[in-house]
Structure 1
């Protein structure tokens, strides 16, 4: 479950309380915070990151536009929804231009307002989840590169290396306990070489494990099989049943146990991570884990001789050298000590001497240098700074946006010795993101304007029709009834047009709908339109849906038969399939020729006004997650086929 943090900004405390209650009741994954002023909002944003910000326009101290402007200026890209009362159109346009994602006007039907707000949040949640997954994958890949580079430059002692790798695995994947056991070929024992956890846990786990004799340990099971064992919930894994008592004793809920093997599949050791809470373990974490373990296994293969260690170091220097990311090492003052080829490529240089010995700050635009110096000081204190963006300079004076991750390196005594930087050009990515945001805003604006225009025109036409109807009611003409009928048809036409033009949610409250009862009820209502038409309703399913809109589907299809089919009988039959409900509405009328069928399908594709009734039926069915089509043969009748997925029902 993706947790979504939402910040509400509005001076109306009652509105804040009601909206918070509504959103948190709507979805348990929403965590809603409320403030009554921009000043309080900014203070809270300095401490916490929010996925979505919902703000009024008129707020004490600073209005919503100024608030939004400041947010975007500081690099805050949270989804921003302006939820306000009556404001001028230019305010709305200005809000969208400076970075608002959506706008909702207060007033009118509260249920519709909150439904619209809910829809916008749901759309945003999907985008947020995708962005988080993509960012997580990228960050894990960067982490793997950094670990490789640091190990190539840093630790010489195997114990230190094991502890460093284990610590980074534990903290990156958010586990609680970890061990690395190295395999002794002579004794057949797995010996504890690195440990992460409490002293008590260490005493419980610091047992020599012989892979020939011991069958009560997970590590020996993995060592024998050479197959990784990954469980997000140990209570649900059959292979862990023999070890469940020991796992419960240690309060372990999730594990990753991975064999360390050589290039010819010889056992070198086992890495074991454990968590005291159930963990989601997506595929990107597997890839990260496997990358580090493979790298680690390669080092273990070459640990016994100086020559092999030298070759190992050379190999990983080559890995750094051929990395698609720019990697550089500086001393504690920022003087460049080492670069890889990608660093030179990014700078636009030809020889290492162009960068070696220079200050890394000289590669950063003057306007960002002070911020870079402060961030380097923070790296010294924290050990690592991530996703720092600066305007960077190339050799020819051109500029690009560089994203930088910096890690503090330490010597064998743990004292700071250098900085490791990983840089990539994100200019294209940021520009693409800006263009996408701009296009999204423009499209949303155009859709809103079009819908508002259509609503206004429809309102005016309704008014004119009402006037015509009033004058017609005072007339003595023989055509009063015919004129009234045309007015009714024109009004219905307008309602259909607005329905088809409407964006977003078109359905009302979902209830359990017995389609047999619904269709039978409708047959009785339409009997007077065609007394000689026999409609048989047989075994229709019960589904979850909007009863009013589902009735409209059947009504449009029945009226279509009455008007166009020249049929004497209609069979409405339900069929049950493993994953779907299917409903067939088959008449024995005149049917359609091949050319007529092409015209109908063409009209559906182009949303022709000549087939509004069927278009509305399709839109309602699709909004329920279903589909609609037809089959016809001239002289034998037409069958409309509707399907609803059981998973949605």
Structure 2
């Protein structure tokens, strides 16, 4: 032992103290002996300094050695204590050993002094080793990790309580058993191979590796093993020690992160992540769709700000809106004209959102979503042009066709009044039908598949209002509605008016029709007890010009279809439980289609 040993020696004979100090100084490599002649002074020295071992005589005038031992162990219960006495007897030896002294020797010549020196050195080494073990044991217990010790034969000689809890076995079931109790053959073989590398001349001191522990009950538990060998000298190997760490949560989290990473990589929209802690907030991640959309490889994109996608015709106002949102640490979505690597422009709907640190408000990153909406913008432009042409057409129909139509109708009426020719009555009816077709055509052309600002509408109230604007003749209305729907009230009133007219115009010749309007789980229905829908027109019921009634323009249900579609709903003619027709409008909880500008 090269570390210094501090010894307190208490004896009322100074000559014994001098001899023992000289001998200990010669036999031990590094020793410092403090000699006192009475136990009281010894206790004072123990209070003032730390000692690795105490040697004491037994027969002393003020206090005998065992009484001294009892006094010092109150404050120093673990310090080694050797009773070295000239008054030896079996009774004293028995009392000393029963009291718990570390050693008992009778005073004598060189042999006894040699035995005393050896026992002091041995006691101090054991004490220090025990302190180190206790210290590490305290640390291990505080960490709560499962710990095991396997001897040179591959048998468990120690496991702690966390190890037992992990495996589901009692400690008594594990100690004395071999690792194949909790591991399969492949895991046992890997552990042996890892141990072999530690024991090799150039091997590591510790091996860290994954292992699945098979508990007494349940599925295997993924763990990480930290293995080392017990200290040994020469060729003697005493066994290995290891600490296990349950990584099942870590493995599940890693699997979850891997799933999310794959989802990001394979998402059908471009995804980027930027790091505002770096200069100029550069991109630190781009997914496959971003590479495909822009033509820039990851090496081109990662590490720089995404403004490199902008070009000469990029709208500065949209860029400023995006920049202001980032400065305010708020999400935003804009449409930008961006440019691919080959220079071709494309419309990009860019949405950004801050990534905030868990449980804190600090922004640690930004996630961006890029969606190529070039095709949508092209369709939007084409639709705008189509609407412009429809407006032109509506103007032509309204002015250039309606005027001569009115002239013709007026002339026919005058001729019929002057001549009384009944053929002119049929011509007037035909002209009225043409005028009705013109009116409905203008309705479709001008209103299209758009709605105004939607608002909550009381269905029962609106149905009742709509009924009052229709020539109901002898028809009856039954309302079974409760609640509201988000809709354009004017367009929705038009929908009910056309459905009411449809039921009345196709109603039974002999009996007045009854119309019922009621709730569905996700919408409403309009039904009647008329003759129903003819098979010949069922498939094309909502096409313009289709009608099962002579003299009807066939535009009513086409307009209903347009209104339903504009609201984002769906309409279908279904088989009623009894006679008549039934129209079901569903999806009223879906968002309203936005206006096309």
Q: TM-score range by the shorter chain?
A: 0.3 to 0.5
TM-score, length-scaled by structure 1: 0.33
Name the structure where helix makes up a greater proportion of residues: 1
